[in-house]
Amino acid sequence: MAACFVLTGAYAQTAQQDELLKILKNEIDRGMAFYQKADIPVYLISYRVDEVETYNISTSFGTLTNSTPSKERTLTIQVRVGDKELDNYRELRDDASAWINPRSTRITLPLDNDPKAIALALWEATETEYRNAASRYEKVKANVAVKVEAEDKSPDYTSITPVQYYEKPIKMSDFKFDIPAWETRLKNYSAQFADNKDILDGESTFTFRVERKYFVSSEGTSIAQNNTSTRVFLSVMAQADDGMELPLHQSYFAHIPQDLPDDKTMMKDAQEVANVVVAMKTAPVVDPYAGPAIMSNDAAGVFFHEIFGHRIEGSRLKKETDGQTFKKKVGEVVLNKDLSVILDPTITTYKGIPINGSYKYDDEGVKGEKVVVIDKGVLKNFLMTRTPIDNFPKSNGHARAQAGFQPVSRQSNLIVETEKPYTDAQLREMLIEEAKKQDKEYGYLFARVTGGFTVTGRFMPNSFNVTPLEVYRVFVDGRPDELVRGVDLVGTPLAMFSQVEAAGDTHGNFAGMCGAESGSVPAGCCSPALFVKQIEMQKKDKSQNRPPIMERP
């Protein structure tokens, strides 16, 4: 990670010399002088600029398919009219406009810090945003008058103390990053996939992203912060004779390329995913099941992210359409008393593992805070933005968004901690004992997952789905574990949460990209393995296509 600086002395001077910050501030100041006197006055304007430099490399079965740099600046504007009690961002209840209006407005700004060019783009986009804001504000007022009283009585926005924070600019060329060497490495990994004809698709990709985020608001906040991330993805796909597609991935995350695992590790992993996916082709298909299971530390992270993480996002809990699973459970025991759940954007590694949901300031210009959401089983807090909910009036720096999207509460680095760590062997024993108790021939081990999704609304059943990639049967009679395929892990949050019995002693990391209302944001999930007394599995949707007729050349 690049060095960061606090705003003192010489650094304050540096911030003042930052051309883009200057242009953003000038245009906000110039605009506010007019917008504050408009028919419907503006009370806040913020400009967020995501300057992202990326290098992507892709290979397929040992040959290069892409090796391309890109750099772009994207502007996201927030214009708030009315006042903090009631403004244009309030939920419009029973309103169809959400189905028509785009969720994001991507405005590309020049890369050169040309005051005229950038100011013109800012002005034009702000005018459009102001008209949208003023129009929506009128609709909000009518909506409030027409609809029943809202359940949540909190205001629409909260005050903060403006922040000034500055890091020196960084660029991709500041980092030691050998493109030909990475191309060769990636080709070598995917070349291994060519050895087995059962592997239909075998790719490896590398992405290095250098991000500089600017945030300037009419309240006086001025932030320029950097972030870097790099990923390598090994992915293979086979297809069973019944049509089931069998994807398998191995991914790596680090903040800079040098911190990624070494070549030997990746080569070994590439071979392993190749071996597993080929074995999966002939693995038995699982029938729906309810019973005990172990989730590996990778899988457990996703499990928590889906069943719990999305239900503690404050913005969501304000919506009248949301299931609000945990909103009224603060102070209650909601999870095994040995477990705590923490969301922490302030750390870049956890127990030496690089994690990807890190930032210093969120997308509303609020410092990211460590939030203990569950403390030894008891629900304590939610992930808050500047949009409060009843009893949670303050932001804890979890307003996040993809460039072009308006921020809402999103997860940062989700960390599950346990007071009583168990070894893998102990968890396995628990699984076998429980399976015996339930009169099962076997329990399940979820070794690797690819992600999942959850439904938090009220209209549809409030449920989740975690998508396993690698699942094993663990037999109570001591037979070797059996690789199986064709299942999804499903359930409803409260029921499932109550079944978590124990956690392991080693943390895994799922460095994922989480997609929701405010677009796709990096989210880390660090959890130990979990033993769950009762899980539910349903058949996985599968392709009806036959495998390719001809053998892969």
Partner 1 sequence: MNFEFVIEGSKLIIQDSKFKIQNLKKLVMKNIRKYIVTLVLFVTGFLTFAQAESFESIAFRAMQDEMNRNMSDLKLDRLKSPYYLSYLITDAHLFSVEAQLGALVRTLDRPLRNQETSVLVGSHQRNNLNFINENKLFGWYGGSFSIPMTLENNYDAVRRSLWVETDVQYKEAAELIEAKFAAMNQQNIPEDERNLADFSSIPSLNKIVPSQQITFDKAKIEKLTKDLSAVFSNFPHLTKSGVNTYIFTADALYLNNEAIKYKVPFSLVCIRVYAEAVAIDGEPLMDYINFYFTTPDQIPTLEILKPQVNQMATLLTQLRTAPAIQESYSGPVMFEGEAVGEIVSQCFVDNPNGLLAARKPIVSNPVLLQRYGQFLPKENKLEQLTDKKVITRELSVAAVHGQKTYNGMPLIGYYEVDAQGVVPASKTVLIEDGVLRALLTDRTPTMKNGSSNGHRCFAISDGSLTGTLGSGILELTATETMSYEALKEALIAAAKEEDYEYAYIVRKMANPMAGVPGLSAFVPSNAGTFGVSRPVYIYRISVADGTEELVRSAKIADLSLKSFKRIVGVADTQEVYNTLQRGKQGGYSTWRSRFALVGSPASFIVPKAIVFQELEVEKDKDIVLKRETVVPSPLLSGK
Rounded CA gap, 100 and 102, in Å?
6
Rounded CA gap, 504 and 63, in Å?
40
Q: Which of 13, 16, 17, 66 binds partner 1 (CB under 8 A)?
A: 66
**Buried b / exposed e across 53-86, counting CB within 10 Å, b at 16+?**
bbbebbbbbbeeeebeeeeebbbbbbbbbbeeee
Q: How far is the CB of 62 from partner 1 (least distance, A)?
A: 8
- Are 499 and 532 in contact by the 8 Å Cβ rule? The answer is yes
Strand partners, 522: 513
Q: How many CB atoms lie within 10 A of CB 134?
A: 19
Lookup result for tokens 């995913």: 273
Q: How far is the CB of 40 from partner 1 (least distance, A)?
A: 10
Q: Which of 70, 258, 265, 321 binds partner 1 (CB under 8 A)?
A: 70
Q: Which of 351, 479, 539, 552 binds partner 1 (CB under 8 A)?
A: 552
Q: Which of 102, 461, 478, 548 binds partner 1 (CB under 8 A)?
A: 548
Binding pattern for the stretch 223-252 against partner 1, x by CB under 8 A and - elsewhere:
--------------x-------x-------
Q: Which of 46, 58, 325, 509 binds partner 1 (CB under 8 A)?
A: 58
Nearer to partner 1 by Cβ, of 106 and 328: the residue is 106
> Any contact of residue 67 with partner 1 (CB under 8 A)?
yes
Nearer to partner 1 by Cβ, of 199 and 355: the residue is 199
Q: How far is the CB of 335 from partner 1 (least distance, A)?
A: 38
Binding segment for partner 1 (CB under 8 A), chosen from 127-135, 292-300, 451-459, 463-471, is 127-135
> Any contact of residue 546 with partner 1 (CB under 8 A)?
yes
- Are 485 and 543 in contact by the 8 Å Cβ rule? The answer is no
Rounded CA gap, 474 and 435, in Å?
9
Q: Which of 18, 53, 60, 473 binds partner 1 (CB under 8 A)?
A: 60
> Any contact of residue 550 with partner 1 (CB under 8 A)?
yes
Q: How far is the CB of 102 from partner 1 (least distance, A)?
A: 14
Nearer to partner 1 by Cβ, of 155 and 547: the residue is 547
- Are 260 and 233 in contact by the 8 Å Cβ rule? The answer is no
Q: Which of 64, 144, 267, 378 binds partner 1 (CB under 8 A)?
A: 64
Residues numbered 95 to 124 that lie near partner 1 (CB under 8 A) are 108-114, 116-124
Residue among 170, 162, 163, 246 nearest 209 (CA): 170
Lookup result for tokens 């309030």: 90
Backbone φ and ψ for 387, nearest 5 degrees, come out as: -95, 105
Q: How far is the CB of 242 from partner 1 (least distance, A)?
A: 14
Backbone Cα Rg of the chain:
25
Residue among 290, 339, 333 nearest 501 (CA): 339
**Buried b / exposed e across 464-480, counting CB within 10 Å, b at 16+?**
bbbbbbbbbbbbbeeee
Binding residues vs partner 1 (CB under 8 A): 27, 30-31, 34-35, 38, 58, 60-68, 70-72, 108-114, 116-124, 126-127, 130-131, 194, 200-201, 237, 245, 543, 545-546, 548-550, 552-553
